[in-house]
Amino acid sequence: MATHGPVPQNYEYVLRRTFWSPMFKIIAWHIFLYLAKMLIVFLGGILSFHLAEGKLHLLFHVLLLGGTVWILLYWNSLRYTITNHKIIIEKGILTIDRNTFLFRNIEYVKLHKNVFGRLCWFGTIEMYAPTLQEVVSLYNIAEARRYFKLIQKSISEHRRTRLVYPSSRVMHGLEKQKRDMKVA
């Protein structure tokens, strides 16, 4: 895919994750718990065991609230930052793990959008770093197409620059040391 226009020299974008993803998960969690509650009440009527309605109601609301808080905390625990040379992924709430991926190490970029993503303008950007043998994914990004094109441009800019490899003299010196150790 051809990209037009130069990449800005120095930039830093903190990517917004879409609110649709946790909203769908919260709605699904509410539906699941409601159906589970109805099933328990139905089975209680058939098998003639009675659960205290107050305890079931309290358990239902605790699970509802706990699951909703968990989904929202998990959604807020992930942050993506794109600069002109790298992508930074920060995960965590109390302790934060930070991974940095350089554009010069990324081989290809893909954009995935499901039906909801196409309707609500979000998507997942997937990149492959062969030097790390790892797929890097940026999940549920608002305006994903815009950032997808920016990453493509940045990768193509970095491919035009000279890649840094270990010098052959250093590698030759290491091989010579290994041979000398075997002889001794």
- Predicted pLDDT of residue 2: 46
Show the CA angle centred on residue 178, arms to residues 177 and 180, nearest 5°: 65
* DSSP labels, 83-130: ESSEEEEEE-SSS-EEEEEEGGG--EEEEE--HHHHHHTEEEEEEEET
Claim: this prediction has a pTM higher than 0.85: no
Q: What's the CA gap between 59 and 144, in Å, rounded? A: 39
pLDDT, tens only, 44-88:
766 666 666 677 778 888 999 999 999 888 888 888 999 888 899
- Predicted pLDDT of residue 167: 47
Tokens of 133: 């043998």
Tokens of 38: 């109805």
Q: What's the CA gap between 15 and 82, in Å, rounded? A: 7
Q: Which residues of the chain have pLDDT under 50?
A: 1-3, 163-171
Q: What's the CA gap between 28 and 30, in Å, rounded? A: 5
- Predicted pLDDT of residue 109: 92
**Selection from 136, 126, 78 nearest residue 102 by Cα:** 136
